[in-house]
Amino acid sequence: MKIPIHREGWPFIALFAAANAALYWLSPWLGALFAPIALWCVAFFRDPERVPPPGENSIVSPADGVLLPIVEVPPPAELEMGDAPRRRLSIFMNVFDVHVNRMPVSGEVIALHYRPGRFFNASFDKASIHNERLSARIRPECSSVPDHDLAVVQIAGLVARRIVCDVTTGAQVRRGARYGMIRFGSRLDVYLPLSARIVIKEGSVTRAGETVLAELQG
Give the model's confidence band at 68: pLDDT under 50 very low, under 70 low, under 90 confident, else very high. Answer: very high
Are residues 136 and 152 in contact, defined by beta-carbon separation less than 8 angstroms? yes
- DSSP H/E element including 32: helix 28-44
Are residues 213 and 196 in contact, defined by beta-carbon separation less than 8 angstroms? no
Q: Model confidence over 91-124: pLDDT tens digits? A: 998 888 888 999 999 999 999 999 887 766 666 6
20 CB-side CA count, 13 A = 17
Q: Using CA atoms of 142, 110, 67, 85 in order, give the dihedral in degrees to the nearest 10.
A: -100
Which residues are tagged catalytic?
Answer: 186
What single-letter amino acid sits at 45? F
Q: What is the pLDDT of residue 123?
A: 66
Nearest in space to 209 (alpha carbons), one of 65, 72, 71? 65
In this structure, of 25-34, 44-53, 137-146, the range with the lowest mean pLDDT score is 137-146
**Phi, psi (deg, nearest 5) at residue 55:** 110, 105
Q: 138-148: b or e for each residue (b if 16 or more CB lie within 10 Å)?
A: bbbeebeeeeb
What pTM does this model have? Answer: 0.86
> Which has more pLDDT, 56 or 152?
152
> Across-strand partners of 71?
88
Give the model's confidence band at 148: pLDDT under 50 very low, under 70 low, under 90 confident, else very high. Answer: confident
> Across-strand partners of 182?
163
Are residues 117 and 128 in contact, defined by beta-carbon separation less than 8 angstroms? no
Q: Model confidence over 201-213: pLDDT tens digits? A: 999 999 999 999 9
> Measured at the alpha carbon of residue 151, what is the angle toward residues 148 and 154, in degrees to the nearest 5?
165
SS3 category, 78: helix
